[in-house]
Structure 1
Amino acid sequence: MNTPPSPPGAERADGSSVRIGALVPLTRPGWVEAGQHLLAGLELAVREVNDAGGIVGRPLELVVRDTAADPRRAAAAVDELARLGVAALVGEYHSVVARSAAARADALGLPFLCSSGVIDALTEQPTDWVARLAPAQSHGWQIYADFLLGAGHSRIAVAAEPSVYWASGARILRDHLAPRGGTVVELDMRALTPTAVCDELVASRATALLLLVGNPEPAVPIVKSVRGDQRLAEILIGAPAGQPEFAAWATSLGDDGAAIPFLRYLPDRLSPLGVRVETALRERLAEAPSFVAFEGYDAVAVLADVLRSHGVDRARTAAAWPHVAVEGTRGMIRFSRTPGISVWQWVWAAVQVVDRDPADLDRFRVLHAA
């Protein structure tokens, strides 16, 4: 969905729609499957808001822009959406892209509720314009590190590409594991082929390999290479960023894609609202919804509540973050200031470490929860 440009003035009180901008990766090199799930959640929530009377009688309209995982494209989209007069922004999956969008929204004074970007430093300086639903990367990845230690893995190799996000993840792992006797060995994927990764793993004596790389390239070739190397039959492959969450992973890798633990942000049991939304999302997507779809739904639910209660003025919306108390699909959502986090943060969505069951690739096994 990509609505045509219209003159600024979404805040008119003449019965016209209340417009919110949505940032979503819908084309490569963006993670398209994640974008589709995020958009499904956003659109479902907008439909339900409008079925319930909209925003004080005015329909809620989603103005979607494809970021394609490009930070510059996202910043330009924020500028465009601000000119179109949107009341606020929601969305974005990729952390580096969300960071670019948050910086631009902060500069323009445009409220942004980030659904899925996890990088801790979403903005360089503290801001009142941005709030976030997803747990900060440091929170989730420390839980993942504890899972590794509990499973007996203290010598960890990370296959990493250059990125602020991947570098942040590697640092979180290293800082959390080192005081607990763990070691992180970094493998630079700018210099190594998947086959060379196998040789490095043997030489390093690592018992676990974490994929801090893009999907499907080079994540899928790395997994195939490691799974096919008999020297590495006992090594654990992990993907804290969630690459195995989506169906394309199992399609690309088959049995090789099983038993690869990753992070997702779902509770052990969804609330009654969550169960109802899960059913609707499954119908919309024609497959099981990921946690990203729930993040999209919850983002619109929160923003609609704020707009109903505080009006569509941008400054009033931003001032409302600390007063939010909305029942989401995964629990009660409230925002607070958290040490080390520069935006208003939900503390915290539930965190699970899960993998795909080797006996049934469509089934997820919960290995650890916090």
Structure 2
Amino acid sequence: ELPEVAASASLSPMPAATKDQLVAAWKRGLAAQIKESGALPPGNAKGAPAAWAKPNTGAAAAARRALSSPRTGSSSGDVEAEAVAAWRAAPAAERRRAAKAALEADASDAEAAFALYEAEDELGDGDAAVAALRAALAADPSHAAAARLLAAAEGGADAASAAANDAAGAAEYARQIFDGYATTFDEHLTGTLKYSVPKELALAADAASGGGRSGVDPPRYACIVDAGCGTGLSVEPFAGRADSVIGIDVSSKMLEVARGKGLYSTLLCDDLVSGLATLAQGQCDLIISADTLMYVGRLDGFFEQAERVLASGGVLAFSVESAERATSQGDAGSVALGEDGIGLQPSGRFCHTRGYVEGLAARSGDGDGGAWETAAEPRDVMGRMDGDKPVYATLHVFVRR
């Protein structure tokens, strides 16, 4: 029997479900109910909101009928994606209560601990956020996102260098972050965060390829590689101007969104270096990578594969987060900058100095002149907002000799 205070109920037959599957279903239900009512349902957190305590006889009766009848309908779209989007849209205080309730039920739930970290971080409680990261790692020592963010919160230059050298950890970190971000990524980035890097990067790439910033008669390309394509925002400025477009991303959820836009000839679910390694030598005449390399760390492998895949005269255009800007802003002391010019920021993202990137380009290739010619001086742009702070991206453009 459902209590008369019930606002809604759902029935999900799960024969022989494991504990983890039941917990996951419970979380999805919570997210859906938070989206519907703006509050947690009773019994899931201490001090249930008053709005849930109002009797709703009609809803309770309808719920009983649903429970006693075969389920004939199903949710339209991706139920998991809808639940994630609803969870992210819920107020941070509600997410904190729900995450704490989940941890009270199962202290070994690493994802609940990480959800608690996200809520505490958004609410500005740094100590509680770090404690939640430790709890996530205690529950799952392989949790890449928790490991990266804890290193950023507690580590110095040594931690930054260790994280930058961990290619497998970097790929897993990006996958964890963006698999849960795909459904709201475009709206959040272009609307809330005022994202501008794809447009700026496209203008720079076109200029290096013979086009101009005026946008008149922009160049066409035989093959574009979008390294770290995400949902496809970076390649939108090139729509209709390439014979083929290849997207590479480590997040399968982001690729699902990108596939729906119809902008790509081929999509590869892989990390950047491994994905580029599957392409033929000299196959492409443009490689772009917008707001991706700050999740990678060391860029040696990326440069090596770009050198191999690009045809002579091809353009490599990418952005990194500016280490010079990051270490000169108000919270500069919290950026761990290694001697190699790679820094680890509190956000868990890397920043790179201009000297580090230019040094890689100068050392590449077998000839005296190297493999790359600088097409334009590196340029900083305000790439997006992070809360109330601007995040500056440095645009680098090279031409393959």
Higher relative CO (Cα under 8 Å, sequence separation at least 6) belongs to: 1
Into which bin does the TM-score normalised by the smaller protein fall? 0.3 to 0.5
- Which structure dedicates a bigger proportion of its chain to helix? 2
Instruction: Give TM-score scaled by structure 2 length.
Output: 0.35
Instruction: Give TM-score scaled by structure 1 length.
Output: 0.37
Larger radius of gyration: 2
